Amino acid sequence: MALVKQKDGLWFYEGLYTDITYGFKVSKVLVPEIDTGFQKLMILETERLGRVLVLDGIVQLTEEDEGIYHEWITHWPMFSLLQPPKNVLIIGGGDGGVAREVLRHKSIKSVTMVEIDRMVIDSCRKHMPSISEGIWDDKRFHLIVGDGAEVIKSMKGKCDVVMIDSTDPIGPAKSLFNTNFYQSVYDALVDGGITIHQTGSLILQPSECPASWRQIERSFDDVRVVQFTNISYMGGPFSLTAGSKGRKVFPKASQNSKKAFKEAGIKCNWYSPQISAVAYPEFQRRLEQDKYGEEIVMDIELKNKTIPSVTKVAKWSKETCEAIKMVAFGTPMVSNKDFKEGDTLVQYIETSAINYRQYGTTGCANVFTCASLPVDDAAAYSIGYYGASSAMCHYILRGSFTDIRQIRQNSLIYKADLGKGGKKLSPVNESYKPKMVDCSKVFSKDFKLPVEEGFSSAFELIMDVYDCDYSKISSSEAVAKWASSEFCKATGLDPIGKADAPDFGHAKKKTSGPSVTQLLKQGSNISHYSVNWLMIVINLVSTKPYSIRKALVSTMKYFKGERAVCWIIPRGAQNKTLKQIADKTLIFEVVKKDLE
């Protein structure tokens, strides 16, 4: 939206969000919007906030409150260290505010600032000199104009603190939001060192902080979120995410900072170790959750081969939403309006999806949610709705961050029997775990899928893919292309129509990112994407066998996934015992090197 002329003068409105904004009155445009070659830059003069730096339509700092951000991102890690810092690296920070605060520490021998955009440095130095003050004349200060993601590779073991003072993960900052970069940062730190990164509004940018937390958690030994507020950063609680090299730093950070701050004698206007910067409990819970969601896979044992109408299945999907206390999103999608054997109906719910298809006398249903799933309610209602008395069930935690052995332990294969009265399930007397195998067995030429052995009418491949590329999994267009084209080419499955890829979870706590349904002649491809956790959870049902290896290569290569936990489940297995079904249910893990 940027600059808008109104009756009382010129106003600026920030364009960071598509559905919410804030604005302020402008007294003078000091630097009209110019293209720097990396981003669009503008500097404004205001009576309320002083001079304001704007990049790509987003406020980066104002003279009035810049000290809040610069003091917290600098002094929180520097005073938290076990020893006073000597060498600091700043990636970004072209305005000079972070360097200014770093150089106030007498222990500093060297501070290097790597800024990719020279025009940011020159414009801020000319029009906002109070931000950088005297850093340019300080012999301890060194400037490198270049890409921080490349420069840091040559700084192994040289830094006490690495401060990542970048814009959001778009434009020139894209290279700073990936696992490889965080690993380079870890390598650049000395033992006991700290990195810290601005990671957006905890409310209005629900993806940014959790995504960074998960990436940093994979490379660093301990992670903390620092919460603060700043008037020119819209969205209430704002976040900095910090990682340490070694586990001794953060447990003592509060104690160390109070002592070090007192000894340093630095007077701050905004930072104080006495002010709690701990994230609200709700945000901390989001960060520490160990799974993305829950799913129940049900093969309902029907009394006859009658295929229900679309209307009846759609009613089931709606009423199942009510049974599990969820809200339906949009209307159901069907592969065939006449709904014959093997056809699929999919209903999105507020936190994922419900689907149904039928093979012979088996009704195959899935209920998946990334909220807490009342599993027994879903099973009891579904069994009763279709006039059945029982169902073969697989209960699976989706997107779990635990070890595959623990994921297997938490999975359950059992028979759900509807008790007297037809509303609640009887106690489970017999249950099994999926069979854990090495991925090499599934990839071998001798491996047979359940449909190839004649064991079942169809099979389901479930893939939870971790550490995916942010730009791919956050784009509805990119995930739709994979589902409708790339995956079908790899497997030989035939798409029906185009992929449906709504981004209905954008503002949700955990579901931020699109969901995708690609209906197939042989089944369906239903997947959900969490940009918070850089994860995909995928359900692929097919009556036609295909190469599991090719399916994984297509998926992990396209989304740049590092690891996947997978299940193969027989669907529509007629007249098979619970133990037989459990014996054909496999769980296995794949890492990128397995596909090379």
What are the C-alpha distances in Å from 511 to residues 189, 293, 329, 483? 33, 10, 13, 19
What are the C-alpha distances in Å from 559 to residues 82, 400, 426, 481, 486? 39, 19, 42, 11, 11
Going by C-alpha positions, the residue among 518, 485, 488 that lies closest to residue 500 is 518
Which stretches of the chain score pLDDT less than 50?
Answer: 169-175, 506-510
Q: Are residues 193 and 294 in the same domain?
A: no
Going by C-alpha positions, the residue among 461, 454, 468 that lies closest to residue 560 is 468
Is the pTM higher than 0.75? The answer reads: no
Distance CA 590, CA 562 (A): 9
Q: Are residues 197 and 310 in the same domain?
A: no
| 242 alpha carbon, distance to own chain's centre | 17
CB count, 10 Å around CB of 384?
17
Distance CA 458, CA 582 (A): 15
Distance CA 552, CA 567 (A): 12
Q: Are residues 557 and 420 in the same domain?
A: yes
Q: For tokens 């940011």, what's the residue?
A: 120
Q: Are residues 445 and 371 in the same domain?
A: yes
DSSP strands (E only) in 127-276: 141-145, 159-165, 189-201, 222-228, 238-244
Q: Answer yes or no: are the C-beta atoms of 383 and 416 closer than 8 Å.
A: yes
Distance CA 10, CA 12 (A): 7
**Sequence-ordered alpha helix ranges (H) in 327-438:** 375-385, 404-410
Distance CA 110, CA 325 (A): 57
3-state secondary structure of 135: helix
Q: Are residues 299 and 171 in the same domain?
A: no
- Which of 62, 82, 99 delimits the end of a domain? 62
What are the tokens at 129? Answer: 């000199």
Q: Answer yes or no: are the C-beta atoms of 134 and 95 closer than 8 Å.
A: no
Q: Are residues 516 and 574 in the same domain?
A: yes
Domain CATH number, residue 32: 2.30.140.10
Domain CATH number, residue 73: 3.40.50.150
DSSP 298-309: EEEE-SS-PPPP
At 281-334, the pLDDT tens digits run 888 877 777 678 899 999 999 999 999 999 999 999 999 999 998 888 889 999
3-state secondary structure of 169: coil
What are the tokens at 509? Answer: 């706590």
Distance CA 463, CA 485 (A): 18
3-state secondary structure of 80: helix
Distance CA 15, CA 188 (A): 35
DSSP state of 153: G
Q: Answer yes or no: are the C-beta atoms of 528 and 515 closer than 8 Å.
A: yes
Q: So what's the pLDDT on residue 16?
A: 83
The alpha-carbon radius of gyration of the chain (Å, integer) is: 27
- Between CA 326 and CA 331, with CA 330 as vertex, the angle to 5 degrees is 105
Going by C-alpha positions, the residue among 272, 276, 277, 209 that lies closest to residue 75 is 272
Q: So what's the pLDDT on residue 441?
A: 96
Q: So what's the pLDDT on residue 471?
A: 82
3-state secondary structure of 262: helix
Q: So what's the pLDDT on residue 458?
A: 97
Distance CA 296, CA 394 (A): 6
Q: Are residues 23 and 136 in the same domain?
A: no
Number of structural domains (the chain) is 3
Q: Which residues are identified as catalytic?
A: 165
Q: For tokens 């970069």, what's the residue?
A: 181
Residues in the chain: 596
Q: Are residues 546 and 480 in the same domain?
A: yes
Q: So what's the pLDDT on residue 167?
A: 63
- Which of 11, 39, 62 delimits the end of a domain? 62
**Residue 413: strand pairing partners:** 394, 432
Q: Are residues 275 and 294 in the same domain?
A: no
What are the tokens at 346? Answer: 């999919």
> Integer distance in angstroms from the first to the last C-alpha of the chain?
47
Q: Are residues 350 and 496 in the same domain?
A: yes
**Sequence-ordered alpha helix ranges (H) in 415-567:** 439-443, 470-473, 476-481, 487-491, 548-559
- Which of 62, 78, 106 delimits the end of a domain? 62
Q: Answer yes or no: are the C-beta atoms of 26 and 49 closer than 8 Å.
A: no
Range(s) of the domain holding residue 310: 289-595
**Sequence-ordered alpha helix ranges (H) in 393-533:** 404-410, 439-443, 470-473, 476-481, 487-491
What are the tokens at 434? Answer: 């999926």
Going by C-alpha positions, the residue among 513, 517, 491 that lies closest to residue 504 is 513
Q: Are residues 455 and 520 in the same domain?
A: yes
Q: So what's the pLDDT on residue 178?
A: 61
Domain CATH number, residue 557: 3.60.90.10
Q: So what's the pLDDT on residue 177?
A: 53
Q: Are residues 78 and 53 in the same domain?
A: no
Distance CA 155, CA 221 (A): 19
